[in-house]
């Protein structure tokens, strides 16, 4: 892959990966705490979403969020590494803006579901978060 890209292609791919991660981290910051940003507020090619405060307040775990992402068609980010209770998101250089936005929109929708649990509007055990992923039978029956 590196040989195929060449020096300029590798530099471009790296820049795109860093840009993608920073774009997503900026979109999700505020809804989730983003760990380990530099003094300029930026991350490298990956970023870590801290779910520990949400778990403490609502009982929603990183596993609940990871499984709920499957309902949106996403494979889970890395869970609890390098920090327990977190998700490490590592968008690749080849993801386009629409896909980055689709992931961010899913995470923001999930945050709204977490807020529903936190406010008591939805009981955690009955929530889409705790019962994810949902099969087609779940959805149409």
Six-digit token string for 46: 């990956």
| Whether pLDDT at 137 is above 90 | no
Report residue 82's pLDDT band, with 50, 70 and 90 as the boundaries.
very high
User: Which residues, including other chains, have CB under 8 Å from residue 139's CB and lie 6 or more apart?
Assistant: none
| Whether pLDDT at 22 is above 80 | yes
Residue 69, exposed/middle/buried by CB under 10 A (0-12, 13-18, 19+)?
A: buried
pLDDT of residue 136: 82
Residue pair 34/50 in contact (Cβ under 8 Å)? The answer is: yes
Report residue 11's pLDDT band, with 50, 70 and 90 as the boundaries.
very high
- Three-state secondary structure call for residue 20: helix
Question: How many whole angstroms separate alpha carbon 11 and alpha carbon 139?
Answer: 44
| Whether pLDDT at 45 is above 90 | yes
Mean pLDDT across the stretch 89-110?
A: 96
For the segment 48-71, what is each residue's pLDDT rounded down to a tens digit? 999 999 999 999 999 999 999 999
Report residue 141's pLDDT band, with 50, 70 and 90 as the boundaries.
confident
pLDDT of residue 116: 98
Number of Cα atoms under 13 Å in the Cβ half of residue 35: 16
pLDDT of residue 76: 93
């Amino acid at each position: 892959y590196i040989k195929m890209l060449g020096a300029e292609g590798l530099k471009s791919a790296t820049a795109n990966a860093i840009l993608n991660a920073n774009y997503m981290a900026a979109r999700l910051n505020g809804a989730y705490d983003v760990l380990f940003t530099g003094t300029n507020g930026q991350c490298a090619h990956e970023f870590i979403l801290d779910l520990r405060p949400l778990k403490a307040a609502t009982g929603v775990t990183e596993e609940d969020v990871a499984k709920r992402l499957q309902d949106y068609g996403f494979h889970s980010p890395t869970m609890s590494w390098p920090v327990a209770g977190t998700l490490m998101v590592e968008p690749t250089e080849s993801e386009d803006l629409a896909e980055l936005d689709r992931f961010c929109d899913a995470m923001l929708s999930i945050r709204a579901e977490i807020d529903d649990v936190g406010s008591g509007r939805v009981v955690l055990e009955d929530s889409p978060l705790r019962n994810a992923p949902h099969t087609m039978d779940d959805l149409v029956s």
